[in-house]
Chains A and B, each alone.
Chain A
Amino acid sequence: NAGVTQTPKFRILKIGQSMTLQCTQDMNHNYMYWYRQDPGMGLKLIYYSVGAGITDKGEVPNGYNVSRSTTEDFPLRLELAAPSQTSVYFCASSYSRGLYEQYFGPGTRLTVT
Chain B
Amino acid sequence: KQEVTQIPAALSVPEGENLVLNCSFTDSAIYNLQWFRQDPGKGLTSLLLIQSSQREQTSGRLNASLDKSSGRSTLYIAASQPGDSATYLCAVEPFVKWHDMRFGAGTRLTVKP
Contacts and interface: CB of A to CB of B under 8 A. Distances in A.
Nearest to B6: A42
Interface string A34-62: 00000011111100100000001011000
B104 interface: yes
B43 A40 contact: no
B interface SS class: strand
Given A104-B44, A106-B43, A98 B98 contact: yes
Given A58-B99, A59-B100, A40 B44 contact: no
Interface residues of A, number: 24
Given A90-B43, A101-B34, A42 B4 contact: yes
Contacts of B4: 42
Contacts, number: 61
B72 interface: no
How many residues of B sit at the interface, in one of the four size bands?
20 to 34
Interface string A71-113: 0000000000000000000101000011101111111000000
Interface in B11-33: 31-32
Contacts of A104: 36, 43-45
B46 A102 contact: yes
Given A58-B99, A99-B32, A107 B42 contact: yes
